[in-house]
Structure 1
Amino acid sequence: MQQLMKGRILLVTGGTQGLGLAIAEAAARECATGIAIVGRDPEKAERAAAAIRERGAAHGAEALAIVADLAAPGEAERAVAETIARFGRIDSLVNAAGATSRGTLLDTTRELLDVHLAVNLVAPFMTMQAAVADMRRRGAPGTIVNIISMSMHGGQPYLAPYTASKAGLAGLTRNVAFAHRFDRVRINGLNIGWTATPGEAATQRTFHDADDDWLERAAAAQPMGRLGQPDEIADAVVFLLSDRSGVVTGSIIDWDQNVPGAYDQ
């Protein structure tokens, strides 16, 4: 423990499971004072908040569970408002919530596209807007990390709406980082690759007819012999949120074992 988040107030969307929860737990371990997490399921949110409190029990970390559907107008802003109402401010933000349902250009409905844009692009836009407004009002520095995707480089044919939304988030991350650099608000993004999470397991079973050994077979086909791990990514996110990442802002980091644009032959 390096106390990288000591005294910080953090909001994590998608923080009730998978990568988002791993990030919240890592922040608690690194001495964040208050951590708000956003999810749609009330019971899951409360269980996650309890796990975060347990992880940060040594220094009295507080956890706030916010139940919200980020696809709905106004919910992203409400999540930030509730965080500020509970803790008095917001120092750091992680946009980890994501819609991952499948669709090609030809079979994606307008409704499906709207969901991807709402959750993966509009919600981060609105949480950043509200968080940066609080930071500027207080004249305080802040940090934001957006969880993007390697699919922003192009993605598979069945990820058309997902790719569109994540590519938009990458551009937005750079735009906002540039706009608010003199406010001392640092904003970066991680393009994560294939990651072993419960959500990914559900996606594989729902959309790809995966069986019980899909993870073992998927891992064996990867260069490092495994998929990305939430705890490793969480450590990277906490580093980017902390002062240890120095002056870095506007960076979109490919967090993966495959290299876009590189070929074997």
Structure 2
Amino acid sequence: MADLKIPNLPRAFDLTGRVALVTGSTSGIGKGIALQLAALGAAVIVNGRSEARGAEVIAGITAAGARAAFEASDLTDATQCRQLVDRAAAHFGRLDILVNNAADTSRGDVRTTTIEDWDRIHAINLRAPFFLMQAAVPHLERQGGGVILNIGSVNAYIGEPKLTAYSSAKGGLMTLTKNAAAQLNAARIRVNQINVGWTLTEGEEKVKREQEGKGDEWVAEAVKTRPFGRLLEPADTAYAVAYYVSDAGACVTGSVMDLEQYPVGAPPAW
């Protein structure tokens, strides 16, 4: 029997020399992911709609001694998705990691979701990741492999009634993840997904107030339903991302991780 080899964890998570594109990374979960990857040594392409917010994220990354650049895009446009990947690879001469994080969480149930809302939500949450993946594959192949990580949601399984289109799109993304993983493993391209639970972000705060009419008490009320005494934070997802995109997860593909405080389908309070 061969000697048991215990990996050096700091070395396994080291991303020095690698380049990552993180969509929707000017705030919330995406910002947390971008900062985490930069802290592990990656050069990061920050993506979003606000150049001002992008500049703030890049300032934080460069102040810590890492490299970063900003690229704006409209992810409802398939052509812009493809162009975004090519521009990202051009910044630092390569692309090793694609994190599809950008999302639209607009509310709407079976009765109230409009055609426009349905199309936009699916364009951002499902169609854009596909075209970004498609554009990224040739770049990853040139490096002898790479990583695609999709940020999904626990709503992918059934979903809240008020998130009909969002849940549908995230369910499709989960199937796309496994389908792509089965195709791309021969090229040593790993494709995985993290289904994130209820996370406190600027975007969630805005939607709660503007679309659901919640007041200042909504966070305190939400926390009462959480087994571990708080909502998830962007850092929780960023830590999981570090595993999937680094050598720590070197042989993991087609995996879907439910990052939530109770098993999906179980009652929220015991």
Could you say which residue in structure 2 is the equivalent of 1:155?
159
Aligned with 1:231 (options 229, 235, 251): 235
Could you say which residue in structure 2 is the equivalent of 1:20?
30
| 1:21-40 Cα shifts (integer Å, max 9, x gaps) | 100100111111x2101101
Q: Is the 8 A contact 2:96 2:143 kept in 1?
A: no
Same amino acid, percent of matched pairs = 38
CA-based RMSD of the aligned residues comes to 1.5
| 1:1-40 Cα shifts (integer Å, max 9, x gaps) | 93521211000000111110100100111111x2101101
Could you say which residue in structure 1 is the equivalent of 2:51?
42
Deviation at 1:139, TM superposition (A): 5.1
Aligned with 1:126 (options 120, 124, 131): 131
- Measure the CA separation in 2 of the matches of 1:26 and 1:139: 22
Deviation at 1:232, TM superposition (A): 1.8
Could you say which residue in structure 1 is the equivalent of 2:4?
none
- Asked if residue 172 in structure 1 is aligned to residue 176 in structure 2, the reply is yes
| 1:124-173 Cα shifts (integer Å, max 9, x gaps) | 0011111112122x151101110000000111111111011100100000
Give the match's secondary structure for 2:41.
coil
Give the match's secondary structure for 1:102.
coil
Q: Is the 8 A contact 2:78 2:131 kept in 1?
A: no
Length-normalised TM-score, structure 1: 0.94
Alignment of 1:86-235 (within 5 A): 86-136=91-141, 138=142, 140-235=144-239
Q: Is the 8 A contact 1:117 1:165 kept in 2?
A: yes
| 1:53-97 Cα shifts (integer Å, max 9, x gaps) | 223x1xxx2111111121123121111111111111110010110
Could you say which residue in structure 1 is the equivalent of 2:83?
78
- Measure the CA separation in 2 of the matches of 1:104 and 1:216: 25
- Measure the CA separation in 1 of the matches of 2:92 and 2:144: 15
- Measure the CA separation in 2 of the matches of 1:139 and 1:233: 26
- Measure the CA separation in 1 of the matches of 2:220 and 2:92: 42
Q: What letter is aligned with 1:40?
A: R
The unaligned stretches of length 5 or more in structure 1 are none
- Measure the CA separation in 2 of the matches of 1:50 and 1:37: 11
Moved over 4 A (4+): none
- Measure the CA separation in 2 of the matches of 1:92 and 1:139: 11
- Measure the CA separation in 1 of the matches of 2:63 and 2:177: 32
The unaligned stretches of length 5 or more in structure 2 are 1-8
Q: What letter is aligned with 1:38?
A: N
Q: Is the 8 A contact 1:5 1:238 kept in 2?
A: no
| 1:90-129 Cα shifts (integer Å, max 9, x gaps) | 1001011000001111211111111011100111001111
Equivalences, count = 259
- Measure the CA separation in 1 of the matches of 2:30 and 2:217: 24
